Amino acid sequence: MKKPDECADLAEVRMEIDRIDRDVIAALGERFQYVKAAAKFKRSRDEVAAPERVNAMLEQRRKWAAEAGLHPDVVERIYRELVSYFVAEEQQEFGTIRHQS
Protein backbone atom coordinates (compact mmCIF):
# COMPACT_ATOMS: atom_id res chain seq x y z
CA MET A 1 0.00 0.00 0.00
CA LYS A 2 1.46 3.30 -1.13
CA LYS A 3 0.34 6.81 -0.44
CA PRO A 4 -0.59 8.78 -3.56
CA ASP A 5 2.57 10.87 -3.44
CA GLU A 6 4.71 7.71 -3.15
CA CYS A 7 3.56 6.30 -6.50
CA ALA A 8 6.33 6.39 -9.10
CA ASP A 9 4.11 6.20 -12.16
CA LEU A 10 0.57 5.92 -13.48
CA ALA A 11 0.63 2.12 -13.29
CA GLU A 12 1.25 2.29 -9.54
CA VAL A 13 -1.53 4.84 -9.10
CA ARG A 14 -3.93 2.59 -11.02
CA MET A 15 -2.86 -0.44 -9.03
CA GLU A 16 -3.65 1.39 -5.78
CA ILE A 17 -7.00 2.58 -7.13
CA ASP A 18 -7.84 -1.02 -8.07
CA ARG A 19 -6.85 -2.18 -4.58
CA ILE A 20 -9.09 0.43 -2.99
CA ASP A 21 -11.97 -0.48 -5.31
CA ARG A 22 -11.62 -4.15 -4.31
CA ASP A 23 -11.79 -3.08 -0.66
CA VAL A 24 -14.85 -0.90 -1.32
CA ILE A 25 -16.64 -3.76 -3.07
CA ALA A 26 -15.72 -6.17 -0.28
CA ALA A 27 -17.11 -3.68 2.25
CA LEU A 28 -20.33 -3.41 0.23
CA GLY A 29 -20.60 -7.20 0.27
CA GLU A 30 -20.17 -7.17 4.04
CA ARG A 31 -22.78 -4.41 4.34
CA PHE A 32 -25.15 -6.54 2.25
CA GLN A 33 -24.88 -9.40 4.75
CA TYR A 34 -25.98 -7.03 7.54
CA VAL A 35 -28.84 -5.74 5.40
CA LYS A 36 -30.11 -9.28 4.94
CA ALA A 37 -29.67 -9.99 8.66
CA ALA A 38 -31.77 -6.92 9.50
CA ALA A 39 -34.76 -8.46 7.72
CA LYS A 40 -35.25 -11.02 10.48
CA PHE A 41 -35.82 -8.25 13.03
CA LYS A 42 -38.46 -6.40 11.03
CA ARG A 43 -42.18 -7.06 11.29
CA SER A 44 -43.44 -5.56 8.04
CA ARG A 45 -42.39 -4.49 4.56
CA ASP A 46 -42.81 -0.87 5.70
CA GLU A 47 -40.17 -1.48 8.37
CA VAL A 48 -37.90 -2.90 5.68
CA ALA A 49 -38.25 0.27 3.58
CA ALA A 50 -37.68 2.42 6.71
CA PRO A 51 -37.81 5.83 4.98
CA GLU A 52 -37.00 7.72 8.20
CA ARG A 53 -33.89 5.59 8.72
CA VAL A 54 -32.87 6.05 5.08
CA ASN A 55 -33.21 9.83 5.33
CA ALA A 56 -31.21 9.98 8.56
CA MET A 57 -28.55 7.67 7.10
CA LEU A 58 -28.26 9.78 3.94
CA GLU A 59 -27.81 12.95 5.98
CA GLN A 60 -25.01 11.30 7.96
CA ARG A 61 -23.33 10.07 4.76
CA ARG A 62 -23.49 13.61 3.36
CA LYS A 63 -21.65 14.86 6.46
CA TRP A 64 -19.05 12.11 6.16
CA ALA A 65 -18.61 12.94 2.47
CA ALA A 66 -17.96 16.61 3.24
CA GLU A 67 -15.48 15.64 5.97
CA ALA A 68 -13.65 13.45 3.43
CA GLY A 69 -13.49 16.27 0.89
CA LEU A 70 -16.13 14.70 -1.37
CA HIS A 71 -19.20 16.37 -2.82
CA PRO A 72 -22.17 15.45 -0.59
CA ASP A 73 -24.61 15.43 -3.53
CA VAL A 74 -22.54 12.85 -5.40
CA VAL A 75 -22.20 10.61 -2.35
CA GLU A 76 -25.92 10.91 -1.67
CA ARG A 77 -26.73 9.83 -5.26
CA ILE A 78 -24.44 6.83 -4.90
CA TYR A 79 -26.02 5.85 -1.60
CA ARG A 80 -29.57 6.34 -2.88
CA GLU A 81 -28.82 3.85 -5.66
CA LEU A 82 -27.13 1.48 -3.25
CA VAL A 83 -29.93 1.69 -0.70
CA SER A 84 -32.54 1.15 -3.40
CA TYR A 85 -30.80 -2.09 -4.37
CA PHE A 86 -30.31 -3.19 -0.75
CA VAL A 87 -33.93 -2.45 0.22
CA ALA A 88 -35.16 -4.52 -2.73
CA GLU A 89 -32.88 -7.37 -1.64
CA GLU A 90 -33.97 -7.01 1.98
CA GLN A 91 -37.62 -7.09 0.87
CA GLN A 92 -36.90 -10.37 -0.88
CA GLU A 93 -35.15 -11.73 2.22
CA PHE A 94 -38.06 -10.56 4.37
CA GLY A 95 -40.48 -12.45 2.13
CA THR A 96 -38.35 -15.59 2.31
CA ILE A 97 -38.17 -15.41 6.11
CA ARG A 98 -41.93 -14.87 6.42
CA HIS A 99 -42.68 -17.83 4.14
CA GLN A 100 -40.45 -20.07 6.26
CA SER A 101 -42.24 -19.07 9.48
Q: What global pTM score does this model have?
A: 0.84
pLDDT digits (tens, 9 = 90+) for 9-46: 999 999 999 999 999 999 999 999 999 898 889 888 88
Structural domains in the chain, CATH included, are 4-100 (1.20.59.10)
> Above 70 in pLDDT, residue 68?
yes
SS3 1: coil
CB 91 within 8 A of CB 45: yes
**pLDDT at res. 93:** 82
Q: How confident is the model at residue 101 (pLDDT cuts 50, 70, 90)?
A: low
Average pLDDT over residues 64-68: 98
> Above 80 in pLDDT, residue 98?
no
